[in-house]
């Protein structure tokens, strides 16, 4: 299944990339950016990011079951990815709140 239509990346490409990244350097986080760079591709519109993250999590789950990669390294990487995602969501919520609380320009002039 194609995950990123801009860079033409499939779920299988992502799974292989995550496996290679986690096997080569357990300290490296398989974020979508790292996975895309590993595949020598660039994100364009970023609409695929949520699906790419879900695919990366699924690939990490499969790796954990196959025991090809140290489970501690996988757990650590997953915890870091979750913290990154939580920070991103908080930032997005803060920006949405700031945007919602903004007064229209006609009210500011009065």
- Which pair of structure tokens corresponds to residue 2? 């194609």
Run of H or E residues at 56: helix 49-66
Q: How far is the CB of 110 from ligand FES (least distance, A)?
A: 43
Q: How far is the CB of 10 from ligand FES (least distance, A)?
A: 12
What is the contact surface with ligand FES in residues (CB under 6 A)? 4-7, 43-48
Task: Return phi, psi of residue 10, to 5°.
Answer: -100, 170
Q: Which is nearer to ligand FES, 6 or 75 (CB)?
A: 6
Q: Which is nearer to ligand FES, 19 or 55 (CB)?
A: 55
Strand, helix or coil for residue 25:
coil
- Answer whether 23's CB lies under 8 Å from 69's CB: yes
What is the residue whose two structure tokens read 């090809």? 68
Q: How far is the CB of 30 from ligand FES (least distance, A)?
A: 16
Q: How far is the CB of 34 from ligand FES (least distance, A)?
A: 15
Q: Which is nearer to ligand FES, 38 or 69 (CB)?
A: 38
How many Å separate Cα 28 from the centre of its chain?
13
Strand, helix or coil for residue 4:
strand
Q: Which is nearer to ligand FES, 29 or 43 (CB)?
A: 43
């Amino acid at each position: 299944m194609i995950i990123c239509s801009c860079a033409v990346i499939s779920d299988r490409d992502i799974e292989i990339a995550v496996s290679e990244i986690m096997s080569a350097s357990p300290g490296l986080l398989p974020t979508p950016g790292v996975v895309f760079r590993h595949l020598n591709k660039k994100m364009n519109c970023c609409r695929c990011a949520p699906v790419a993250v879900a695919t990366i999590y699924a690939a990490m789950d499969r790796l954990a079951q196959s025991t090809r990669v140290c489970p501690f390294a996988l757990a650590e990487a997953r915890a870091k990815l979750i913290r990154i995602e939580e920070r991103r969501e908080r930032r997005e919520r803060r920006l949405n709140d700031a945007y919602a609380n903004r007064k229209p320009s006609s009210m500011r002039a009065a």
